[in-house]
């Protein structure tokens, strides 16, 4: 299970190793999507967390190293997924109350499931694995450190 960092309203700063590039969630974009609002543009490439494309014309980029920000929106960034939940999930049981960051290392195409991840997609065309082929009799190891 990935760590969940619960926030108060005072800003926290996110620091990561250099970002080669990232994509915003493909289900982002303006409007309401299945109980959530997104402030980041739909499936847009970026090279720094300090300048990530948004849905707004008057503020086309936002700094995703500061949280909480963009209140009442949910924003997801893939591969190491930064799931930024800032009171933007209005479905039960959250009902717009949660303010947290979830950090998940993934091998997938966003949250699109196995079929999309197993097919050719923009991430694996760029060399990012979105699925592992397991072979019977061959161990599959994931070296990982988990801490709180």
Look at residue 125 and tell me whether its pLDDT is greater than 50.
Answer: yes
Distance from C-alpha of 126 to C-alpha of 86, rounded to nearest angstrom: 30
Ranges assigned E (strand) in the chain = 4-6, 12-13, 22-23, 32-33, 36-37, 45-46, 52-53, 61-62, 66-67, 73-77, 80-86, 99-105
Residues paired with 101 in a beta bridge: 5, 84
More confident residue, 111 or 113: 113
61-75 pLDDT tens trace: 999 998 888 888 877
Residues paired with 99 in a beta bridge: 86
Residue 68 lies in a domain: yes
Please report, rounded to a whole number, the percentage of residues in the chain having pLDDT higher than 90. 24
Residue 130 lies in a domain: no
Residue 54 lies in a domain: yes
128-139 pLDDT tens trace: 889 988 999 999
Please report, rounded to a whole number, the percentage of residues in the chain having pLDDT higher than 70. 86
Look at residue 1 and tell me whether its pLDDT is greater than 80.
Answer: no
Q: What mean pLDDT is reported for the chain?
A: 82
Q: Which domain holds residue 48?
A: 4-125
Residue 12 lies in a domain: yes
| Bond before 93 cis per omega within 30 degrees | yes
Residue 139 lies in a domain: no
Residue 105 lies in a domain: yes
Distance from C-alpha of 16 to C-alpha of 69, rounded to nearest angstrom: 18
Q: Is the pTM of this model over 0.75?
A: no
Look at residue 7 and tell me whether its pLDDT is greater than 60.
Answer: no
More confident residue, 20 or 29: 20
| Total number of domains constituting the chain | 1
pLDDT at 73: 82
Residue 79 lies in a domain: yes
Contact 52, 67 (CB under 8 A): no
Residue 144 lies in a domain: no
In which band, very low, low, confident or very high, does the pLDDT at 50 lie, cut at 50, 70 and 90?
very high
């Amino acid at each position: 299970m990935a760590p969940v960092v619960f926030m108060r309203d005072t800003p926290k700063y996110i620091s990561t190793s250099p970002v080669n590039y990232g994509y915003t969630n493909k289900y982002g974009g303006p409007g309401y999507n299945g109980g959530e609002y997104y402030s980041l543009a739909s499936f847009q490439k970026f090279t720094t967390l300090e300048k990530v494309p948004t849905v707004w014309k008057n503020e086309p980029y936002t700094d995703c190293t500061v949280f909480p920000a963009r209140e009442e929106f949910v924003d997801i960034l893939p591969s190491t997924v930064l799931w930024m939940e800032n009171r933007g999930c209005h479905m039960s049981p959250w009902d717009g109350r949660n303010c947290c960051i979830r950090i998940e290392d993934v091998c997938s195409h966003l949250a699109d499931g196995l079929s999309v991840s197993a097919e050719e997609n923009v991430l694996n065309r760029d060399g990012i694995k979105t699925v592992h082929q397991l072979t019977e009799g061959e161990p599959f190891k994931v070296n990982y450190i988990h801490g709180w």
